[in-house]
């Protein structure tokens, strides 16, 4: 409907300090109409503060927030939350326990100026959207966790906000329900076609739901982009490890031939496609699933490095086996690899690390 791809929310160099602590620093971000943006980061990274700034609940210290080009927040100015027409979904659902489901959902419509006269139909529509018709007269304490979160979402949707903010909405649900709700939530948001900013510390949620992923660390944007891109091409050790298991090896670039750099680590010279120059001390990142086991054909087809290792631990994960292997050339190092075949503990494996999957990033160890 509104999906014309134009920038709807723009954050310009936003910064925030609490007392003597910097919580956010130089955050710049553009959110397009209809986009689903995930703010991902560990606790304390400032993502909730950023959400509160977007909602207008707190002011910012530096920079500016604009919505459709109009100012929302700038230094010393904060448009009050009730004048922003945003919706917010909370981790603890924040349903008002003294109101029925109907009253909860109708609240936003009734306090609107002027009040929405068709609020009954709007409430029904919102409840329909989250498939909770028939629960109008229930009180929150009579609902299950998943139902509560649906109602909380319906409450947010009912006044048709122009921006939806979600603060870890699924983290209070158990894992099975969480997976189901992930699908449902995506469905609801897509159906409603509302620009959404979603805060989470769970990389699965962020990767699976977002159109655009913003990785926050210690108040700064570590990396942003499409989830698949950020996953595949992490720019930092932190980005690599926070988005899922990754083997991180440290070493110095000792040689270069064409696109391929050679890194000294694991007692080997490992090839990686990278523009890094000789002499740099870098981190080499490769995800467990990207290391191939026993596949000699690849060694002919592509550039890479061969390693020999011994299985130390293994875990069955359904589709794949997960192995922790000790590298023969450097037995202190343990790598994590995945493979569909089963190998017993103590088995010697032949590993292949494709140069195209080995990424070199600066060795900053933060995160």
- Rounded Cα distance, 188 and 246, in Å: 33
Of 78 and 262, which has the nearer Cβ to another protein? 78
Stretch that binds another protein, among 151-159, 221-229, 247-255, 296-304 (CB under 8 A): 151-159
- Rounded Cα distance, 51 and 117, in Å: 31
Number of residues written out for the chain:
367
CB of 225 to another protein, least distance (A): 20
> Is residue 32 at the binding interface for another protein, with CB under 8 A as the rule?
no
CB of 241 to another protein, least distance (A): 28
Stretch that binds another protein, among 88-96, 183-191, 274-282, 337-345 (CB under 8 A): 88-96
The closest alpha carbon to 155, from 79, 224, 90, 68, belongs to: 90
Q: Is the N-terminal amide bond of 114 cis, ω within 30° of 0?
A: yes
> Is residue 95 at the binding interface for another protein, with CB under 8 A as the rule?
yes
CB of 184 to another protein, least distance (A): 19
156-169 in b/e form (b: 16+ CB < 10 A) is bbbbbbbbbbbbbb
> Is residue 87 at the binding interface for another protein, with CB under 8 A as the rule?
yes
- Rounded Cα distance, 181 and 152, in Å: 13
> Is residue 69 at the binding interface for another protein, with CB under 8 A as the rule?
yes
> Is residue 88 at the binding interface for another protein, with CB under 8 A as the rule?
yes
Q: Which of 46, 60, 67, 216 binds another protein (CB under 8 A)?
A: 67
> Is residue 98 at the binding interface for another protein, with CB under 8 A as the rule?
yes
Q: Which of 35, 49, 78, 338 binds another protein (CB under 8 A)?
A: 78
- Are 104 and 151 in contact, with CB atoms under 8 Å apart? yes
> Is residue 3 at the binding interface for another protein, with CB under 8 A as the rule?
no
> Is residue 217 at the binding interface for another protein, with CB under 8 A as the rule?
no
Q: Which of 15, 81, 244, 356 binds another protein (CB under 8 A)?
A: 81
> Is residue 139 at the binding interface for another protein, with CB under 8 A as the rule?
yes
> Is residue 125 at the binding interface for another protein, with CB under 8 A as the rule?
no
Q: Give 138's contacts (C-beta < 8 A, 6+ positions apart).
A: 100, 101
> Is residue 18 at the binding interface for another protein, with CB under 8 A as the rule?
no
- Rounded Cα distance, 333 and 312, in Å: 11
> Is residue 28 at the binding interface for another protein, with CB under 8 A as the rule?
no
Q: Which of 92, 295, 342, 347 binds another protein (CB under 8 A)?
A: 92
Q: Which of 142, 190, 229, 296 binds another protein (CB under 8 A)?
A: 142
- Are 345 and 314 in contact, with CB atoms under 8 Å apart? yes
Count of residues of this chain found to bind another protein when the rule CB under 8 A is applied: 50
- Chain positions contacting another protein, by CB under 8 A: 6-7, 55, 57, 67-71, 74, 76-88, 90-98, 100, 107-108, 111-113, 137, 139-142, 148, 152, 155-156, 159, 165, 172
């Amino acid at each position: 409907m509104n999906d014309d791809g134009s920038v709807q929310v723009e954050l310009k160099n936003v910064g925030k300090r609490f007392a003597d602590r910097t919580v956010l620093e130089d955050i710049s971000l553009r959110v397009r109409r209809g986009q689903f943006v995930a703010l991902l980061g560990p606790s304390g990274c400032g993502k909730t503060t950023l959400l509160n700034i977007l909602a207008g609940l707190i002011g910012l210290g530096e920079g500016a927030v604009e919505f459709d080009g109009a100012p929302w927040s700038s230094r010393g100015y904060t448009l009050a939350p009730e004048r922003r027409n945003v919706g917010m979904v909370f981790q603890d659902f924040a349903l008002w326990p003294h109101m029925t489901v109907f009253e909860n959902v109708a609240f936003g419509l009734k306090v609107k100026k002027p009040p929405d006269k068709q609020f009954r139909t709007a409430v029904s529509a919102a409840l329909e959207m989250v498939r909770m018709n028939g629960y109008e007269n229930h009180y929150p304490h009579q609902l299950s966790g998943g139902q509560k979160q649906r109602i909380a979402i319906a409450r947010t949707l009912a006044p048709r906000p122009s921006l939806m903010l979600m603060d870890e909405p699924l983290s209070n649900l158990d894992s099975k329900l969480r997976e189901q709700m992930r699908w449902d939530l995506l469905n609801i948001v897509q159906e409603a076609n509302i620009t959404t900013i979603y805060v989470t510390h769970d990389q699965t949620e962020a990767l699976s739901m977002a159109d655009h992923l913003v990785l926050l660390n210690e108040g700064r944007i570590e990396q942003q982009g499409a989830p698949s891109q950020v996953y595949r091409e992490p720019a930092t050790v932190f980005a690599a490890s926070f988005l899922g298991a990754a083997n991180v090896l440290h070493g110095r670039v000792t040689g270069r031939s064409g696109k391929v750099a050679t890194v000294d680590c694991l007692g080997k010279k490992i090839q990686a496609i990278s523009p890094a120059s000789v002499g740099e001390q870098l981190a080499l990142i490769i995800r467990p699933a990207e290391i191939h086991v026993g596949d000699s054909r690849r060694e002919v087809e592509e550039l890479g490095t061969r390693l020999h290792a011994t299985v130390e631990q293994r875990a069955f994960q359904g589709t794949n086996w997960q192995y922790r292997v000790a590298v023969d050339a450097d037995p202190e190092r343990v790598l994590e690899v995945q493979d569909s075949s089963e190998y017993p503990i103590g088995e010697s494996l032949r590993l292949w690390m494709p140069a195209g999957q080995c990424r070199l990033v600066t060795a900053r160890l933060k995160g």
